[in-house]
Every structure is written in structure tokens, then in C-alpha cells.
């Protein structure tokens, strides 16, 4: 584990930024509301941010383990298929992760 | 408060259960990164922002600079800047209740409380709904981390939960807003960032994507905004 002092500092930074983002629109409502640039960012950011996060998640898959990536890749297929089928966030994640863990452990 | 909790459970009980289950995944991920189990409920309690926490764990585990942590959190959570515009905070009376409501304004709280409509909302109901989400998330994280450190340790593939979460969130976001240009530029920024700066991929990709959005804003036809 990293230094306790570092962990406290990193957490404090994450908390400060998150709270500031949540509180700012109430404090400076007009400034946020009347900015066309922020309006466009608000419209385009959510999809872009989660897309970047999804690619980040994909780059973290271990394709060089004993199963040569079979677990993560099958888990990914199951996650996507189950999600397109049932559209339940939780069900898709649990199904994909269980398949990934099962296949990886069997290898 | 009992009455408010009962109403909140009816409104958000399913979300509470979902957050508890996802919290378990988060807790397991924390111990998979070699961090002590008790850090999972602490992070969940004080940050209380799902996606950002999953990212934060990876950064803290490799002792990324605090400035990187702050900037990445800012970019991942920047959508919260817009929740305040439509959240009916005026219906949440009392300074303490208002403060807690803003602190705990996660994606799910915004979605449920804003969807219910301002007229039905009051301080007790808002705080009860958000407290339920907060406690579900924290207790799920504690359970997951304890299980992770006790008997799931070394189990292959558990950290797949992070990938699954983000892929599913991206599928949902695209369904809500099928904007191919946003999807394409974000994919491009992410792949490029991974190729040139794999160590700080998130930061580079999200900053690059934001820069592209600013350019897109200047070139976007103005009439679209009024359409």
C-alpha cells in the first residue's frame, strides 16, 4: 500500500473536486446556465467520457494470462449480449464477470 | 423520518440493491489492487461517485501524483456540473439537508429525484433517498472488500467488473444520445492516448476529447441549438 499521507492527500483531492463540481452550479447557476460552450460540453461530455472509460477498461483486460485472454473476451461478449438483450446494468455486469472469472479460473 | 424512508425505499429500493451489488464489485477491486479492505468503505463514503472511484483505485494503487488524481476526477465527474441546473434543490429545506443533498448528488440520486418532479420532493424524502444510496454503496464496498481479502484473493478475472461497468455505461450513454461524432472522436482520443501515453491514458484521452469538443462548439452550426 502507498504511504498513508499520500492516500489521504489523493482522497482529499478527489473529494474536493467532486464536491466542487456538484456545488458549483448552485452557487453560480447563471454563469453555468448561460454559457453556450458549457451547454455543448454538457451535451457531448457524458457519452464521450464513458466511451473513453470503456476503452480504458478494455486496455486493462489481461490477454496474456494462462487462458490467453479467453476469460476476459468471453466475459466481454456475454456482457454486451446480455445488456443488449435485457438492458439491466447489474445483470450484464454480473453475468459478464461470472463468465470471465469461471473461464479464467478453469484455464 | 420512518415515513420518508418508506417512501424512499419504494422509489429507490431497486437502485439501493443495485448500488449494494456494484459496491461489492468495487470492494473486491480495491483488495485486488493490494489496498487494505477498510479503504473500500472509506473511499465509497467520502467520494461517493461510482465511476470516479473505480478509476481512483487504479491511480492510488500506483501512487499517481495528486494533481493527476485531481484532474482525472475532474474530467470523469465533469458531467456533475450540469446536474445542479435541473435538480430541485429549493425543495430541500434546511441548511444541513441542502448540504448533504449536494454532497451526495451522484448519478442515481440526480436521476431519481429529478424524475420524481419538484412538487413531490421535500427535504426528508431527498435525504432518505440519498442516505439509502450512500449506505448501500458503502456497505456493499465493505462486504466486497472483506470477501475479496478473505477468500476471493488471487481469483482470476475479478477485476473484469471495471471493464464490464464502463462498457455497459457506454452502451447506455450511446442509446440515450446516439451522437456518432461524439462516439467517434472519443474512441479516437482514447485509442490515440493509449498508443502514445499508456501510463496516463485517461488523462490524455479526456483532455484531448475536451479540446475536440471546444473546437466542435466553435464550428457547430448555431441553429442546431434552437432546433
- Cβ–Cβ contact A78 with B under 8 A: no
Residue A42: is its pLDDT beyond 60? yes
Cell of B42: 472509506
Residue from the list B77, B105, B182 with its beta carbon closest to the beta carbon of A48 = B182
Domain count, chain A: 2
Tell whether B91 and B183 lie within a shared domain. Answer: no
Query: Are B21 and A16 inside 8 Å of each other by CB?
Result: no
Q: Is residue A51 a part of any domain in this protein?
A: no
Tell whether A42 and A78 lie within a shared domain. Answer: no
C-alpha count within 13 angstroms, C-beta hemisphere, residue A32: 20
Domain boundary among the residues B178, B194, B209 is at B178
How many other C-beta atoms lie within 10 A of the C-beta of residue B187? 18
- Cβ–Cβ contact B192 with A under 8 A: no
- Which domain range does residue B44 map to? 2-178
Domain boundary among the residues B137, B156, B178 is at B178
Cα A71 to Cα A65: distance, rounded to the nearest angstrom: 9
What letters, b where the CB count within 10 A reaches 16 and e where it falls short, cover B48-66? bbbbbbbbbbbbbbeebeb
Per-10-residue mean pLDDT of chain B, 227 residues long, equals 89 90 94 94 97 96 96 94 88 95 94 81 93 97 94 80 93 93 97 94 94 93 53
Per the prediction, chain A carries an average pLDDT of 93
What pLDDT is recorded for position B82? 86
- Cβ-Cβ contacts under 8 Å, A47 against chain B: 170, 173-174, 176-177, 179, 182-183, 186
Tell whether B184 and B169 lie within a shared domain. Answer: no
Q: What residues contact residue B176 under an 8 Å CB cut-off, 6+ apart?
A: A46, A47
Cα B143 to Cα A102: distance, rounded to the nearest angstrom: 21
What pLDDT is recorded for position B97? 96
pLDDT tens digits, A6-35:
999 999 999 999 999 999 999 988 888 888
Report the alpha-carbon angle B44-A28-B84, nearest 5.
45
Residue A74: is its pLDDT beyond 60? yes
Best mutation target among B19, B160, B174, B220 (most A Cβ atoms within 10 Å) is B160
Residue from the list B22, B73, B160 with its beta carbon closest to the beta carbon of A100 = B160
- Cβ–Cβ contact B196 with A under 8 A: no
Tell whether B46 and B138 lie within a shared domain. Answer: yes
Question: What phi, psi does B147 have (nearest 5°)?
Answer: -60, -40
- Cβ–Cβ contact B86 with A under 8 A: no
- Cβ–Cβ contact A39 with B under 8 A: yes
Pick the more confident residue, A30 or A97. A97
Say what the ipTM of the complex is.
0.93
Tell whether B131 and B206 lie within a shared domain. Answer: no
Domain count, chain B: 2
Three-class secondary structure assignment of A44-94: HHHHHHHHHHHHHHHHCCCCCCCCCCHHHHHHHHHHHHHHHHHCCHHHHHH
- Cβ-Cβ contacts under 8 Å, B59 against chain A: 10
Confidence of residue A82 (pLDDT cuts 50, 70, 90): very high
Tell whether B26 and B121 lie within a shared domain. Answer: yes
Tell whether A69 and A107 lie within a shared domain. Answer: yes
Tell whether A65 and A106 lie within a shared domain. Answer: yes
Q: Is residue A85 a part of any domain in this protein?
A: yes
Pair B23, B137: CB distance under 8 Å: yes
The CA distance from A39 to the nearest CA of chain B, in Å, is 8
Q: Which helix (H) or strand (E) holds B126?
A: helix B123-150
Nearest to B87 by CA among B73, B68, B106: B106
Cα B135 to Cα B131: distance, rounded to the nearest angstrom: 6
Query: Are A36 and B217 inside 8 Å of each other by CB?
Result: yes
Q: Is residue A56 a part of any domain in this protein?
A: no
- Cβ-Cβ contacts under 8 Å, B80 against chain A: 18, 21-22
Tell whether A65 and A32 lie within a shared domain. Answer: no
Residue with cell 457506454: B170
- Which domain range does residue A1 map to? 1-46
What pLDDT is recorded for position B222? 64
Tell whether A12 and A39 lie within a shared domain. Answer: yes
Pair B58, B166: CB distance under 8 Å: no
Query: Residues A52-75: what's their mean pLDDT?
Result: 93
Amino acid at each position: 500500500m502507498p504511504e498513508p499521507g499520500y492516500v489521504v492527500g489523493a482522497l482529499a483531492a478527489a473529494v474536493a473536486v467532486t464536491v466542487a463540481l456538484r456545488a458549483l452550479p448552485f452557487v453560480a447557476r447563471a454563469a453555468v446556465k448561460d454559457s453556450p460552450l458549457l451547454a455543448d460540453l454538457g451535451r457531448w461530455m457524458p457519452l464521450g467520457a464513458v466511451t473513453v472509460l470503456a476503452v480504458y477498461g478494455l486496455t486493462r483486460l489481461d490477454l496474456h494470462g494462462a487462458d490467453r485472454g479467453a476469460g476476459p473476451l468471453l466475459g466481454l461478449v456475454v456482457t454486451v449480449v446480455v445488456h443488449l438483450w435485457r438492458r439491466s446494468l447489474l445483470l450484464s455486469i454480473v453475468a459478464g464477470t461470472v463468465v470471465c472469472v469461471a473461464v479464467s479460473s478453469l484455464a | 423520518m420512518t415515513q420518508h424512508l418508506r417512501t424512499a425505499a419504494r422509489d429507490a429500493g431497486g437502485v439501493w440493491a443495485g448500488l449494494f451489488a456494484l459496491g461489492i464489485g468495487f470492494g473486491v477491486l480495491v483488495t485486488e489492487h493490494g489496498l487494505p479492505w477498510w479503504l473500500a468503505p472509506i473511499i465509497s463514503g467520502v467520494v461517493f461517485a461510482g465511476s470516479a472511484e473505480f478509476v481512483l483505485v487504479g491511480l492510488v494503487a500506483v501512487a499517481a501524483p495528486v494533481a493527476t488524481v485531481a484532474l482525472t476526477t475532474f474530467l470523469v465527474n465533469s458531467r456533475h456540473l450540469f446536474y445542479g441546473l435541473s435538480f430541485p434543490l429549493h425543495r430541500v429545506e434546511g441548511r444541513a439537508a441542502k448540504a448533504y443533498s449536494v454532497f451526495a448528488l451522484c448519478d442515481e440520486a440526480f436521476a431519481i429525484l429529478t424524475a420524481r418532479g419538484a412538487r413531490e420532493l421535500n427535504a426528508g424524502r431527498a435525504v432518505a433517498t440519498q442516505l439509502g444510496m450512500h449506505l448501500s454503496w458503502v456497505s456493499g464496498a465493505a462486504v466486497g472488500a472483506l470477501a475479496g481479502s478473505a477468500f476471493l484473493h488471487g481469483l482470476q478475472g475479478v477485476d473484469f467488473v471495471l471493464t464490464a461497468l464502463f462498457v455497459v455505461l457506454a452502451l447506455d450513454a450511446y442509446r440515450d444520445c446516439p451522437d456518432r461524432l461524439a462516439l467517434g472522436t472519443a474512441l479516437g482520443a482514447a485509442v490515440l492516448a493509449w498508443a502514445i501515453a499508456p501510463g496516463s491514458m485517461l488523462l490524455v484521452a479526456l483532455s484531448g476529447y475536451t479540446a475536440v469538443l471546444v473546437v466542435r462548439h466553435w464550428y457547430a452550426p448555431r441553429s442546431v441549438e434552437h432546433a
